[in-house]
Amino acid sequence: MIRHRLMICGALLCGAIASVEVAQGQQFDAPYYVLQERMANQWAQEDRTIDRKLADLERRFGKKPNIIFILADDVGWGELGWQGGGKHRGTPTPELDRMAFDGMRFFHAYAEPSCTPSRIAIMTGRHPVRTGLLTVLWPGQEDGLSPDEVTIAELLSEEGYHTGMWGKWHLGELEEHAPENQGFDYAYYGLWNGAPDGWPDSYKLYDSPTNAKAAWYDYPGNDEYLRRTDIDLNGPAGYIGRKGQARQPIRGEAGKVGLFRQDAFENESIDQIEEFIREKNSTDRPFFIYWATYTQQVTGAEAFQDAPHVDRVNAQASMMAQHNDHIRRLRETLETEGIAENTLLVWWSDNGPMYAFFPTSGYSWLDGGKGDIKEGGVRVPAMAVWPGMIEANQDPVDFMHLVDLLPTAARLGGALEDIPSDRVTDGVDQTALLLLGEGHSRRDYMFHYSGDHLGAVRYNDAKIHFKPAHGGLPGLDAYNVMRDPKEMYGAFYKALYVVTPIQNFMKAHMRMIQRFPHRVSEVTPKGAEMTPHD
């Protein structure tokens, strides 16, 4: 079946670029038009059914559905209880498991290989390579998400949504990159990933050794680091932003780099999120929440270190227990407010686990981890719940990518026609999969980039990894990731029949890039990104 489908793809892609000339609204990548042409009649029928469902819901509640996207951090495929982890790996997740079984749990959900790239994907619906931002950002860098990119918050704001953001922004620390200037009415956000929170205390432990371990042994301390680099970690680690106003630094422990910042930040975030839901629910407009939780990062949650089944040696395990409790509070608030049935709630991890600080780390049953385009780096746990709209206890074999969340939210919020057509948007609207169930995904292909390097392509169950060519032979490994999710058996000679179809696939993809060139960073010259390639 894989061979048959690949050969069809090779035959039809020649016409894909021609389809672009007459495309209206969202500009897709070339392979999408092949599927769209083949499925046109079925999709038209499905869309009529979906439109009726959404119209009935809007009449019932008097406004469009609320949307909540939760992006967790470094949680690997297999980490949650419903995937074989949970309390059996010292990371109990009963509320997250309940959410998964109350709706749709994805065994084939994908993200980008690391944190900043996945945040670009969810915000823009585009692979990061298209946006000019190719690197994971660290303190002191001036690069960030271009103001010329159109975010999911901007699309929904235009349709009247209240928009709020909490958590790890990690898309630039300058004000022009800040969430309140990228479509959010309100934002409570940290600037960076969790690593800098461990730097100052590593210096203290290095200077006065104890039985605790320092992960960054040679960090010279904040004052000396400032003197050497002009990067000030004594200043704010996060801000409160409101659209149209100057941002204000977060006060107290939640706003200062240190081992207890994330714990305090997460507790304050859930308090604010509950208040935001209650306040906005009393208006005649729906809300959109983007919660980029720090679960799991390198610090822990003190109140949950000794919770039942928590592996107290793994700091991330206590954060998972904390987040699990926060999910309980979030869902109870939706129920109390009477809006669970008018709220799409999606939970997704941003990439696979980071093993560098093991045993403080997540885990995956797949090969690879954070930074890899192997399944362990990009296949992640994800689920969606929407009582009355998404049937409970579903585990579809269809696959989705994080970029799909933007057009899906745009469809639900009435903003699908507002997605810009002057650039390729990689995400596809997956409302049909959510509302109609297994077999209704509108995606049969996926590109896996590492920085600006295309490392692999998935088409149906076939995943092709690209390697340097040798002796005139193409460089590739070919896996059937349904049969072989650990990517153990990828012999090239067993997949010779994919060479021409995949080459045609790549030609169409690259021609589309020629037509819609990637954005170029105005800050970081090409070659200075220090982005690892797989």
**Domain residue spans of the chain:** 2-50+447-515
- Tell me how far CA of residue 107 lies from CA of 65, 200, 317, 445, 471, in angstroms: 25, 39, 22, 16, 38
- Degrees, nearest 5: CA angle 437-438-442: 90
Answer whether 377's CB lies under 8 Å from 352's CB: yes
* Class of domain 2-50+447-515 (CATH, top level): alpha beta
| pLDDT of the residue at 491 | 82
| pLDDT of the residue at 206 | 72
Of 507, 423, 450, which Cα lies nearest the Cα of 12? Answer: 507
- In degrees and rounded to multiples of 5, residue 338 shows phi and psi of 75, 25
Helix (H, G, I), strand (E, B) or coil at 190: strand
- In degrees and rounded to multiples of 5, residue 470 shows phi and psi of -150, 135
| pLDDT of the residue at 22 | 40
Answer whether 449's CB lies under 8 Å from 127's CB: yes
| pLDDT of the residue at 18 | 44
- Tell me how far CA of residue 445 lies from CA of 30, 140, 173, 475, in angstroms: 11, 37, 34, 20
Averaged pLDDT, groups of 10, the chain, 534 residues long: 40 46 74 94 97 98 98 95 95 97 98 94 97 90 94 98 97 95 97 90 72 77 94 94 97 94 96 98 98 89 93 91 97 98 98 90 92 95 98 97 98 96 97 98 95 92 88 84 94 83 90 95 77 48
Of 387, 408, 285, which Cα lies nearest the Cα of 343? Answer: 387
- d(CA 350, CA 75) in angstroms, rounded, equals 7
- d(CA 104, CA 106) in angstroms, rounded, equals 6
- d(CA 508, CA 501) in angstroms, rounded, equals 11
| pLDDT of the residue at 209 | 57
- d(CA 148, CA 143) in angstroms, rounded, equals 13
